[in-house]
Chain A
């Protein structure tokens, strides 16, 4: 492999597959697009394999704009897992709901490419480009139910607010350029470290945080999340909830840890407050939801709060915990969305709490699997959610943020209410009205199996992956 392109090799695989799909889309067979999904999946898996091959290498390319390091590779793995699981879940789902088309798979791949690029980017301009690539693809994907009012609403809101947030982001980049004369992360760090940080730089950082805050949906930039999740195809909601957040955190961590070390006390104090607000608002509002997709949207907001706890804690423990948690969260959330997407009631997706009454009786395996994912979201051992939270909150305690850890634990207790409520419906309520049915889908079940395996494996023996995560953040902390 040529040294110049090695840092972007996994990305090239995804990009190549996307272009291949564009061509294949024009060729027969025209009736079904299922084969395109298989090709897309193969591309993502290949990218995952390339990532594994590259593991442990460090390199830079394109005048230092793109880096290859353990950090980027770890996020490649998280994002590829998210994309692969989402593709598996999409295969039957799209056909069933009449949105199967070549563009769907192409857009999933392009957004995946954007996410991976965000993890690899070492220049604010490139981060912005990657962010836009990811976001534009997701805006379209969110509106795939174009004949439904909620579909249009979802895409429109996501696009308008996203564009608004991007404006802040670019303005921040401009201010930082003004303050330091560069958009390359390394040079910004060097320039910022040379003299005391001026207001220009600080304001620039604040605006960057607004942009990132929108992508990771931290409070108060989270309001789009429930509306978008509700109207978007469930598979796309899963991708937005996992992949795009992981990518947002990848860029955020890289920028904060490697570039803005000089003002670490400032952004730490800020994120402390954002973390508390985010998890509290997410959890409290989730309680009032009766739509499971909306509930998961608020729950994902709350989880962003937990992850921010790790960012605040910092160090190898905190940042490593963040990486580990994002992987755990990806498996768990895709799994939970995956079960929802397989369930149907009266030819509609089963998204209301009532639809889950007596599910344990009619579909014991699916109910059990969903229960396990929900328990993982709650943070019960022996699921991965417990290990992930344990390391995040433990890192906070180690760094002296005892109160933050206490608030986070209290929040987890609140969250148990609405997660367990679904389990109560499944196991302790009787079915009412039309029975909820499960769609037979081999690909969907395979995805659930992989996600479940991840949730249990990371829960029972977290140490190996945690070590990888801690090693991955090491280059940023130097």
Chain B
């Protein structure tokens, strides 16, 4: 397996280099480089997956990387069921989104640049999930962050896009600062960063140390996966092109935090406290973001808050120790959320860039393929049986009920109800009812080209059938069995009996009730465009303004920082530092001039210097 594993990241890397170096000439044909590169990666990932299916695993070094005293680390890959699943998701969904982008980005002036970034992202993400030690993980953790920044600000001439890119980068810095510290502390505490060695020696850590390290790492996860309180960047990240939102800010990159916590579950379990923190942060974020999603008027922002909320579910799952369920939800979420984003992209594309739900409506008859697939995605997100989201979300709900505090389960259940409400609100507002867009736009509404609708169809199919591997059976769900080498199957937890069915029914009821409520509010009576998105009462205003978190951060962090920076720049830097630096600089330059004068150009002088040097050297040696 060793020979093909390294090829998986190689293809997107080659694609990146080709498009980066020759993009100017490849230009409109950039996808002929990028898409096949990813196709190859995907096929190889399938091959690797099959080998892992047969029970093989692989650990190997590409090359020794850093050697400094006792610090030695290599670029290592680790392929086990967990990374095999992640590989499949990253390259598979990535491939579909690459195909979709051919249609979506058609005619954009930065066509080649777009595919360069996109390929580089897939390369980095593949390396992130392949990484066999924390340092490589950290490097590519940063690399995907960089891609995210570049792609959010892809249309950099737009002020809002450039700002959003910066915001994403800076907010992530906060988390990554903790993550970096965590990795360093891990090194100090254990003397190794290799996954295998770290988890084997985890018992040597005191629970307190484990808690500190785990929480530091989780800080990084909060940033990357947009959990409270570092969630503010993700909604703004919707400034990027929609395929980017689908790939990076829904399906893959933002789930890196979940992956990381699941991967280092031994560390979090050693701490115990950290696991509870993860569960509560996840649970609270799940509900918190779902409420905000209820009131947003931008179709992509609704989906963005929905992503935050769903990531909260995953963290809640991880936090109660249901790792397999969380990763399973990660996978199904990748399918249906990518589908929803791409569907939204199709809608936006059809309406010449319009993202405002207030100006949509009645699209169904003219965009059948998009409507049907979007409905499938919405059903998946809402958790309606038999779609994939139902099985994975139910698994998390059940686990939280059985293993976590009741309050956490309650949060998640209410969240599930709200999820159904907000996603079907989008469905009814966008696709049904009377059109609310201007006449000239309405005339041009059209179904997207095949290159966009086919990926939608494939993702819809996956959303419809992927739940099958998560059907609970006598031996536990098939997915959990597959990843059991990484996450041992829970023992002694009773999944049978009335309680499990009651939970199942309860979650179906919650989802159905949500759909019904949305139908009543947005379909039961005609909707007026002005009525949407106007605050009706205090509570509505609070949710509409996202709990004023951005305003709070602005007042508490951003503005004081800017003031401090202004003070440093004007008073400290210009006055004190520059004065000193320029002084030193003038001193050195003056010195240089005078030394230069020694260099007369006369051979006699040079020879004299040589002689003087010889005398000095011999004198020194004799004197000693």
Contact = CB atoms under 8 A, between A and B. Distances in A.
Interface stretch (A52-60, A329-337, A461-469): A461-469
A281 B598 CA distance: 11
A243 interface: no
Interface stretch (B187-195, B519-527, B587-595): B587-595
A390 B66 CA distance: 12
Contacts of B618: 202-203, 206-207
A221 B613 contact: yes
B624 A266 contact: yes
Contact of B64 (A203, A214, A265, A463): A463
Interface of B is mostly: helix
Interface in A419-478: 461-464, 466
Interface in B50-71: 63-69
B572 to A, nearest CB: 20
Which one of B595, B612, B614 has the greatest number of beta carbons of chain A within 10 Å? Answer: B614
Given A220-B613, A266-B624, A461-B63, A160 B599 contact: no
Given A164-B610, A206-B614, A466-B67, A287 B599 contact: no
**What 7 pairs between A and B have smallest CB-CB spacing?**
A288-B592, A206-B618, A220-B613, A223-B606, A463-B64, A210-B614, A287-B592
Interface of B: 63-69, 588-589, 591-593, 595-596, 599, 601, 603, 605-607, 609-610, 612-614, 617-618, 620-622, 624
A195 to B, nearest CB: 17
Contacts of B589: 287-288
A270 B620 contact: yes
Contacts of B592: 284-288
A285 B596 contact: yes
B69 to A, nearest CB: 8
Contacts of A207: 614, 618
Contact of A461 (B64, B68, B593): B64
A116 to B, nearest CB: 27
A161 B603 contact: yes
Nearest to B72: A463
Contact of A394 (B68, B603, B609, B610): B68
Given A206-B621, A284-B592, A213 B64 contact: no
Nearest to A205: B621
B606 A287 contact: no
A198 to B, nearest CB: 11
Contacts of A199: 622
A272 to B, nearest CB: 11
A388 interface: no
Given A203-B621, A270-B621, 16 more contacts: A157-B606, A161-B607, A206-B614, A210-B617, A213-B613, A223-B606, A223-B610, A224-B606, A265-B624, A267-B621, A269-B624, A288-B589, A288-B592, A398-B69, A414-B588, A464-B64
Which one of B69, B591, B617, B620 has the greatest number of beta carbons of chain A within 10 Å? Answer: B617
A173 interface: no
A284 B68 contact: no
A464 B614 contact: no
B607 A160 contact: yes
Contacts of A390: 68
Contacts of B617: 206, 209-210, 213, 270
A25 interface: no
Contact of A285 (B599, B606, B624): B599
A142 B59 CA distance: 55
Interface string A256-293: 00000001011101100100000001001111100000
B591 A463 contact: no
21 contacts: A157-B603, A161-B607, A202-B621, A206-B621, A206-B622, A210-B613, A213-B617, A220-B612, A220-B613, A221-B610, A223-B610, A227-B601, A266-B624, A270-B617, A285-B592, A285-B595, A285-B596, A286-B592, A287-B589, A461-B65, A463-B65
Given A203-B621, A221-B613, A284 B595 contact: yes
Contact of B595 (A210, A214, A227, A281): A281
Contacts of A464: 63-64
